[in-house]
């Protein structure tokens, strides 16, 4: 028995030694690391180690041990490293239509994009639109996003597709393939049809199950985070939409992000529908409100009590004159907040630096107080805040051991003298300062150039397809 115990102990020691001796995928050294971990506000000079599974095995101050080996070592030479930005609210395919309806608020903008432009494009066009938008997200430092996919013209016509429209499934599948091909981590937002006499719960259930079964058969990738429902309760005229969405969430264990209280002109009507969210059970920890600007105290109290969250999209809110969400008040009440760059036909660029600045300035203007929100606060909302809202904070949002190695290498040369590193990042930072973008320890963007796909060719393809769809 004693001999068996000794042999077991020896086996454990040998196994531990073998594991310790394994070569890492990547070591990054000599970096100023902003890990955004709880209780670690102060950046430090150190190193990080990425394992073969794309997760961080070490994030420490100082130099890596001489005994530590890796397939690749990158010396950051004092450059700054921050977690990849997470967009809690994106319409990635909309990058094909940037600059559209520049003098319109939300209602007119929707008519221009969803009523006139998008219905002219074919399902396969949306592969290229989504690939283009995903790559553009990556070049701007966004490494993960919630993507509101386009469900095809039928999803905006109460279940009645035009005679020439392609099936909703083909739109969903094309966009999913593009998300996978881009290298961006993503939550796939599934577009549910509008409940009504021609579209019942069983229709939606059958369509969603078919998509989930199809997605499960695709090559496995950690880039695919989850599927959620693109909620449309606020845009429907009946309570049945909320019931439909809740039934799908319960059966398939999915979250839901619903556009709600965005434009000022429909605020009263949408506020009256809040009871639909409550009575149906939609109002829960599984619900994210998109935009969520024109609220009242009752709505905020109930949202906080239910554990629901919201995505803040300052760039598009400013562009469409939608208003400014009272983020300090929401946070004080206990509502979880993430940030999104929204669609590139309403925000026009998927730039989290511009998004943080725009949001921070709007809040300071609203309160006439420069201390009401700090650069650190908005950086945290665009990283850990968004990860929390999307339910992936155990995997993303900060640079901590066990999480995925999604990070940016920032060249601070343009910042000049640094009084406050977070102020420099938020007030001065831009896409031009991003030297490298890593997802899972894999280098995907270097000096603005995408390495997995040829962005110029994708851009040309998108331009040709948009032009052809308008003829």
Angle among Cα 348, 341, 376 to the nearest 5 degrees reads 130
- Residue 214, Cα to own-chain centre: how many angstroms? 23
Q: Where are the domains of the chain?
A: 22-83+398-450, 85-389
**Pairing between β-strand 442-446 and β-strand 449-450 as defined by DSSP bridges:** antiparallel
pLDDT value at residue 159: 39
Pick the closest to residue 351 from 400, 392, 316, 390 (CA basis).
Answer: 316
Gap between the Cα atoms of 303 and 289, Å rounded: 9
Query: What is the per-residue burial (b if ≥16 Cβ within 10 Å, else e) of 387-413?
Result: bbbbbbbebbbbbbeebbbbbbbbbbe
* Tens of each residue's pLDDT in the chain, 471 residues: 555 554 454 444 344 344 444 689 999 999 999 999 998 999 999 999 999 999 999 999 999 999 999 999 999 999 999 999 999 999 999 999 999 999 999 999 999 999 999 999 999 999 999 999 999 999 999 999 999 999 998 665 433 444 344 687 899 999 999 999 999 999 999 999 888 888 888 999 999 999 999 999 999 999 999 999 999 999 998 999 999 999 999 999 999 999 999 999 999 999 999 999 999 999 999 999 999 999 999 999 999 999 999 999 999 999 999 999 999 999 999 999 999 999 999 999 999 999 999 999 999 999 999 999 999 999 999 999 999 999 999 999 999 999 999 999 999 999 999 999 999 999 999 999 999 999 999 999 999 999 999 999 999 999 999 999 998
**Contacts of 81 by beta carbon, 8 Å cutoff, 6+ apart:** 28, 31, 32, 33, 34, 48, 399, 407, 408, 409, 410
pLDDT value at residue 168: 78
Burial of 416 (0-12, 13-18, 19+ CB in 10 A): exposed
Gap between the Cα atoms of 186 and 418, Å rounded: 34
Gap between the Cα atoms of 192 and 416, Å rounded: 49
* Contact present, 32 and 82 (Cβ < 8 Å): no
pLDDT value at residue 196: 82
Phi, psi of 134 (to 5 degrees): -65, -45
**Sign for the pseudo-dihedral over CA of 94, 95, 96, 101:** positive
Structurally, at CATH architecture level, domain 22-83+398-450 sits in Roll (2.30)
Pick the closest to residue 183 from 218, 224, 149 (CA basis).
Answer: 224
pLDDT value at residue 156: 53
Largest CA distance in the chain: 84
Q: DSSP letter string over 228-296?
A: EEEE-GGGSSSTHHHHHHHHHHHHHT-EEEEEES-SGGGHHHHHTTHHHHHHHT--STTEEEEE--S--
Class of domain 85-389: alpha beta
Residue 66 has a CB neighbour count (10 Å cut-off) of 6
State both tokens at 293: 């600007």
State both tokens at 233: 């309760």
Gap between the Cα atoms of 423 and 21, Å rounded: 41
Q: DSSP letter string over 335-353?
A: -EEEE--EETTTT-S--HH
State both tokens at 279: 């009575």
- HSE of 309 in the Cβ direction (CA atoms, 13 Å)? 23
* Contact present, 246 and 280 (Cβ < 8 Å): yes
**Sign for the pseudo-dihedral over CA of 229, 231, 237, 241:** positive
Gap between the Cα atoms of 205 and 247, Å rounded: 9
pLDDT value at residue 154: 65
* Contact present, 71 and 79 (Cβ < 8 Å): no
The terminus-to-terminus CA distance of the chain in angstroms comes to 83
**Pairing between β-strand 342-343 and β-strand 407-410 as defined by DSSP bridges:** unpaired
pTM of the model: 0.94
Angle among Cα 346, 164, 217 to the nearest 5 degrees reads 75
Gap between the Cα atoms of 30 and 183, Å rounded: 26
């Amino acid at each position: 028995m004693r001999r068996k115990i000794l042999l077991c102990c020896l086996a454990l020691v040998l196994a531990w030694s073998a594991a310790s001796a394994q070569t890492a995928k990547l070591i990054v050294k000599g970096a100023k690391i902003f890990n955004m971990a709880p209780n670690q506000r102060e950046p430090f000079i150190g190193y990080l180690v990425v394992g073969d599974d794309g997760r961080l095995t070490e994030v420490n101050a100082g130099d890596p041990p001489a005994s530590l080996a890796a397939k690749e070592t990158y010396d950051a030479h004092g450059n700054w490293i921050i977690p990849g930005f997470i967009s809690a609210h994106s319409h990635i395919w909309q990058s094909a239509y940037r600059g559209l309806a520049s003098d319109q608020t939300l209602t007119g903008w929707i008519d221009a994009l969803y009523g006139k432009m998008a219905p002219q494009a074919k399902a396969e066009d949306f592969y290229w639109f989504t690939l283009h938008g995903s790559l553009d997200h990556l070049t701007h430092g966004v490494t993960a996003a919630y993507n509101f996919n386009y469900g095809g013209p039928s999803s905006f016509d109460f279940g009645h597709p035009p005679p020439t429209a392609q099936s909703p499934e083909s739109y969903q599948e094309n966009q999913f393939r593009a998300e996978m091909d881009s290298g961006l981590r993503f939550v796939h937002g599934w577009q549910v049809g509008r409940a009504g006499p021609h579209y019942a719960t069983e229709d939606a259930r059958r369509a969603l199950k078919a998509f989930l079964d199809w997605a499960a058969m695709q090559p496995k990738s950690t880039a695919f985070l989850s599927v959620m429902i693109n909620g449309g309760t606020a845009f429907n005229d009946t309570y049945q939409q909320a019931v439909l969405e809740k039934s799908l969430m319960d059966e398939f264990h999915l979250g839901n992000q619903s556009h709600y209280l965005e434009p000022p002109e429909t605020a009263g009507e949408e506020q009256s529908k809040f009871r639909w969210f409550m009575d149906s059970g939609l109002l829960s920890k599984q619900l994210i409100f998109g935009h969520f600007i024109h609220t009242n105290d009752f709505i905020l109290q109930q949202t906080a009590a239910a554990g629901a969250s919201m995505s803040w999209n300052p760039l598009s809110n400013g562009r469409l004159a939608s208003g400014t969400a009272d983020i300090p008040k929401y946070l004080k009440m206990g509502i979880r907040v993430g940030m999104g760059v929204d669609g590139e036909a309403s925000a026009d660029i998927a730039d989290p630096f511009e998004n943080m600045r725009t949001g921070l300035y709007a809040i300071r203007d609203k309160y006439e107080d420069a201390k009401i929100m700090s650069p650190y606060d908005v950086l945290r909302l665009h990283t850990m805040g968004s990860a929390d809202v999307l339910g992936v904070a155990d995997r993303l949002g900060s640079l901590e051991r066990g999480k995925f190695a999604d990070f940016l290498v920032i060249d601070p040369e343009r910042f000049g003298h640094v009084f406050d590193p977070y102020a420099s990042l938020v007030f001065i930072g831009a896409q031009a300062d991003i030297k490298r973008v890593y997802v899972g320890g894999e280098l995907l963007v270097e000096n603005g150039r995408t390495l997995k796909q040829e962005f110029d060719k994708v851009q040309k393809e998108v331009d040709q397809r948009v032009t052809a769809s308008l003829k």
